[in-house]
Amino acid sequence: MRAAGPWSLLLAASFSSGLALAQPVAPPAGPGPATEAPAATTEPTAPPSETTDTSPETGSAPPNTAPLEERRPATVIAVGTTPTPPGVSSERGFSRNYDALPLTLEARFGFNARLDSSFADGAREDHWGPSYALAAYLAWSREFALGLELDYVGLGRVRALSGQNSIDSDYGAAGGWLGARVFPLRRERLDLFVNLRIGLVLQHVDSRGVRADPANITVPARSFACSEWDGPGFGFGGAFGVAYRLGRRVSLVSRVDLTGTRLSGDPLGECAPGIGSVASLGGSVGLTYEFETAPK
């Protein structure tokens, strides 16, 4: 066998180099621009179901198919608080239970003004006088109350001079009234009410002065003092009032009254002439105390 010559060895080396260049070469693992991967598509997550019931077939919770307006959260009651029962209103601790028939006791004082003149032009009249009132009202609902009132109002003073006679008379009226109240606005702290009442009224006169004896004009006039009651007469009145609660039981009340009373104008015994029918306007303020009369 003959040994390969130098040209044969050179041809074999060239053939091997061509095969090595024909094979693909992997890129080096060095730093370089990274190829961005396509973003994964995510589906929106369904909201959790409001019910924890599971389907017996699949063991998973069924979707909530209730309308949106019916998906309301349950009422949460704080620990340590008591829910307000029906018929009881409460605001800032001032509660009023109308099922327990609250009774309001009331005391007022103020002024009274007689609106018309009851005597001759020669008499001097003061139309002002004080007023005092006690009342009790029972409320069986939020809007209505029924009660009784006792009051005394001053009807003014009359001074008259005639010859040797002079008289100074103070007039007043004491009445007992059946009243009804309507509350167009009644909140826990503030009440607005309209008061209507009818009743019987007694007229009172307290007189003093100097009087001559008409049967004996030679006798000088003598001083006198007397007091007389007359009646009763019929009275009707209306009022507008406001009450503000200072506490759970105590309230401050204010009232404006317009009253008409039919009284006698005849002489009251031998004391003084009656004042006759009068109309008067009055204003008063006072305090009330409220408590419940029926068990809860």
Q: Domain span at residue 259? A: 108-292
Look up the CATH number of the domain holding residue 173.
2.40.160.20
Q: 221-241: per-residue pLDDT in tens? A: 788 889 999 989 999 999 999
Q: Kindly indicate the confidence band of residue 8, based on its pLDDT and cuts at 50, 70 and 90.
A: low
Percent of the chain with pLDDT over 90: 40
Q: Is residue 165 part of a domain?
A: yes
Dmax (CA) of the chain: 201
Q: How many domains does the chain have?
A: 1
Q: Is residue 243 part of a domain?
A: yes
Q: Kindly indicate the confidence band of residue 219, based on its pLDDT and cuts at 50, 70 and 90.
A: low
Q: Is residue 187 part of a domain?
A: yes
Q: Is residue 134 part of a domain?
A: yes
Q: 68-104: per-residue pLDDT in tens? A: 545 555 554 444 444 545 444 444 456 778 888 889 9
Residue 5 confidence (pLDDT): 55
Lowest mean pLDDT among 108-117, 154-163, 180-189, 279-288: 154-163
Which pairs from 121-126 meet CB under 8 Å and 24+ separation?
A: 122/160, 122/161, 122/162, 123/158, 123/159, 123/160, 124/158, 124/159, 124/160, 125/156, 125/157, 125/158, 125/159, 126/156, 126/157, 126/158
Report the mean per-residue pLDDT for the chain.
Answer: 77
Q: Kindly indicate the confidence band of residue 140, based on its pLDDT and cuts at 50, 70 and 90.
A: confident
The residue ranking higher by pLDDT, 179 or 220, is 179
Arithmetic mean of pLDDT, 3-26: 51
Q: Is residue 270 part of a domain?
A: yes
State residue 145 phi and psi, 5-degree precision: -150, 150
Q: Kindly indicate the confidence band of residue 272, based on its pLDDT and cuts at 50, 70 and 90.
A: confident
Q: Is residue 211 part of a domain?
A: yes
Token output for 110: 């103020």
Residue listed under structure tokens 């991967």: 37
Q: Kindly indicate the confidence band of residue 57, based on its pLDDT and cuts at 50, 70 and 90.
A: very low
Residue 145 confidence (pLDDT): 95
Q: Is residue 97 part of a domain?
A: no
Q: Is residue 19 part of a domain?
A: no
Rounded to whole angstroms, how far apart are CA atoms 96 and 87?
A: 9
pLDDT at 284 over 60: yes
pLDDT at 127 over 80: yes
Arithmetic mean of pLDDT, 235-256: 94
